[in-house]
Amino acid sequence: MVTDVGQHQMWEAQYYHHNRPRTLITSGGLGTMGFALPAAIGAKFAKPDSEVWVVVGDGGFQMTMSELATIVQEKINIKIAIINNGFLGMVRQWQEFFYDKRYVATPLVAPDLPRSPTPSAFAASASPNALKCFPPSAPRVNRPKPC
């Protein structure tokens, strides 16, 4: 399991139970957004027989999504879970709690633009096995069942 930096890193640490030592690669807050995808590629080369998962936010994924081309070209078998909330979540959380909700530069799309880049579209272009998942509570309009 490889995590990027952000809220998803905290969620992985809280909710994923590791059965063996040294099965989590994370920067521990000392890295930057975009750490997870290249680190997972390295982890897969280091342990080619192990299943490698990336847990990354949509902001961090945008930092290194070009590495999907490397993954496809080198036929690297890693799984990527993108937590897509449309914001730089941890930065926004700090702005909410400590800066009186003065939000600056946290949405991943400008208000006057129709939408931000879609992580699932990039994933689908890299792999026919890409899935787009929704929480069970999400409205069931033109979408598959929850993963």
Residue 46 has pLDDT above 70, yes or no: yes
Would strands 52-57 and 2-3 be described as parallel, antiparallel, or unpaired?
A: parallel
Residue 116 is predicted with a pLDDT of: 58
- pLDDT confidence tier of residue 147, bands split at 50, 70 and 90: low
The H or E element that residue 124 is part of is helix 119-126
Q: How many CB atoms lie within 10 A of CB 72?
A: 12
Between 25 and 123, the more confident residue is 25
The number of CA neighbours under 13 Å toward the Cβ of 1 is 18
Specify the higher pLDDT residue, 46 or 145.
Answer: 46
pTM of the model as a whole: 0.71
Q: What is the mean pLDDT of the chain?
A: 76
Strand order across the beta sheet in which 52-57 lies: 2-3, 52-57, 78-83
- pLDDT for the residue numbered 122: 66
